[in-house]
Amino acid sequence: MKKFFLFLLLQSFVAITYAFETNEVFGMKEQSSVEGYQQYVGKDFFIREAIGMLETWNKSGFSYDSSDENKIYTVTKVVGKEVELNKKQNIEITVQAVEKGTKNKIKFKGYQEVSVKLGFWGNVKKWPLIGYMPIVFVEPYEEYKNKHMGEIITHDIVKDQYEIIDVFIGKSASLKESETIAAPNVKVKNMRNGEIVSCPYSQVKIDPFASALTGKYKLALAKVEKPEDQTERYGETTTIQDDGLDKYSYKDEIIDILIFGTKTQFNFTLKNVSDHSIKLIWNEAAFVGIDGNTSKIMHVGIKYADREKDQPATTIIKGAKIEDIAQPIANVYYDEGTLIGYSRVGSGWKTNPMLPEKYVGKEAGEIRLMLPFQIKDVVNEYTFVFKVYYTYDHPELLNTEKL
């Protein structure tokens, strides 16, 4: 009975130790023990360029050369030992391999724990992590590749379809500085015009369709709200619908205004069509963003540094007009920039947009601009309500019925 239990224990140990597993880019996966790395003995792999911040051949004991990329190696031995690196305990894993069809041997090492050191000149020295060694095991990689080759990629809105024509591991066209390792990438071919796009597989349902989905958010005047009884300071409001063009005109017995919005501000031409002089009370003007937050506004002639200060009213006599802007002061800020040596780079006044910078839906909500006009002693608040909507640059490429 004891021998039987011993046999089961050994079988369990072997199953756990030699269960072949890889990381997300088909390299070695960090193990909880040195014995766990024995699963890689006898497995074939190829070498690739180190990508990102965590992958490196430096200090691995192997000198990378692009001519090695087409060679297949077989792991012959994996040895682990405890070491002290930068005054901290670590585990060093050494991998020995032989090139298939030859007797050429290679050897490299990586470490279980992160170890970095600041050099004399401020440069950072790092040691390779075994879980991020730039190697690719052939078997799981080929399985992944065969699974995705020929796959047809579609999008609910875009008419075009793409076929995956290649799968590769390494740097992608969209690699960002913040990325740490390589990624499984694909080349896809547009089945309509033959255009080829490369991207990480994780982005394959997004990147190929990006050009068809390009566009921008715009503003359409949805309505104008004003006091119904203009002899009272705060009367009931009524809604005036507007057809909605790129520039929007509104006229009543007091004002005649042509107004439109850009990404950062409203531009308008305002004419006084009443029988009296009117004042535009800038201190009471307000902006309400998509998020519902309210901001004071600033206009032509107000310096950014003075945006919080008192803004005198503008008087418009009978029959006269003004051209001005209205910009939310909450979107204006001073950027300190980045200190490089004794100088700052990128500092200065900047403005956040009123409209979304990323796609958040066909209709993103609405924004409001309230302009208060005083006639004699009565202030009439006009609220211009703009719908925020997305327009596509290439609607001919889209399934418009699904927009």
- Which amino acid is residue 178, in one-letter code? S
Instruction: Report yes or no on 402 lying in a domain.
Output: no
Q: Is residue 182 located within the same domain as residue 221?
A: no
| Per-residue pLDDT, 332 | 95
Q: Is residue 241 located within the same domain as residue 184?
A: no
- What are 275's two structure tokens? 């029988």
pLDDT digits (tens, 9 = 90+) for 179-203: 678 889 999 999 999 999 999 999 9
**Number of residues written out for the chain:** 403
- What are 85's two structure tokens? 């690196």
Looking at the whole model, is its pTM more than 0.75? no
Q: Is residue 112 located within the same domain as residue 35?
A: yes
Q: How far is CA 38 from the centre of its chain?
A: 40
Q: Is residue 17 located within the same domain as residue 77?
A: yes
Q: Is residue 109 located within the same domain as residue 257?
A: no
* Domains of the chain: total: 3
Choose one of 180, 209, 238: the last residue of a domain.
209
Choose one of 139, 173, 196: the last residue of a domain.
139
93: β partners:
80, 110
pLDDT digits (tens, 9 = 90+) for 237-295: 566 655 556 789 999 999 999 999 999 999 999 999 999 999 999 999 999 999 999 99
H-helix or E-strand spanning residue 11: helix 2-17
**Ranges in the chain, pLDDT < 70:** 1-19, 120-122, 172-179, 229-245, 341-342
State how beta strands 116-118 and 124-126 pair.
antiparallel
| Per-residue pLDDT, 338 | 82
Its domain, for residue 179, covers 149-209
Nearest to 389 by CA among 348, 351, 355: 355
Q: d(Cα 151, Cα 361) in Å, to the nearest integer?
A: 28
CB 136 within 8 A of CB 71: no
| Per-residue pLDDT, 14 | 40
pLDDT digits (tens, 9 = 90+) for 207-218: 999 999 899 999
In the DSSP assignment, the letter for residue 312 is: P
Contacts of 265 by beta carbon, 8 Å cutoff, 6+ apart: 325, 326, 327, 328, 354
Q: What is the mean pLDDT of the chain?
A: 88
Query: C-alpha angle with apex 221: 391 to 234, nearest 5 degrees?
Result: 150
Q: Is residue 276 located within the same domain as residue 329?
A: yes
Q: Is residue 77 located within the same domain as residue 135?
A: yes
H-helix or E-strand spanning residue 144: helix 138-148
Q: Is residue 370 located within the same domain as residue 221?
A: yes
135: β partners:
47
| Per-residue pLDDT, 341 | 64
Q: Is residue 389 located within the same domain as residue 284?
A: yes
Instruction: Report yes or no on 403 lying in a domain.
Output: no
| Per-residue pLDDT, 314 | 97
SS3 assignment, position 387: strand
From the CB of residue 236, how many other CB atoms can be counted at a distance below 10 Å?
9
314: β partners:
280
Phi and psi of 278, rounded to 5°?
-125, 155
- What are 375's two structure tokens? 């006639």
Choose one of 139, 162, 190: the last residue of a domain.
139
CB 207 within 8 A of CB 48: no
Q: d(Cα 298, Cα 307) in Å, to the nearest integer?
A: 6
Q: Is residue 317 located within the same domain as residue 337?
A: yes
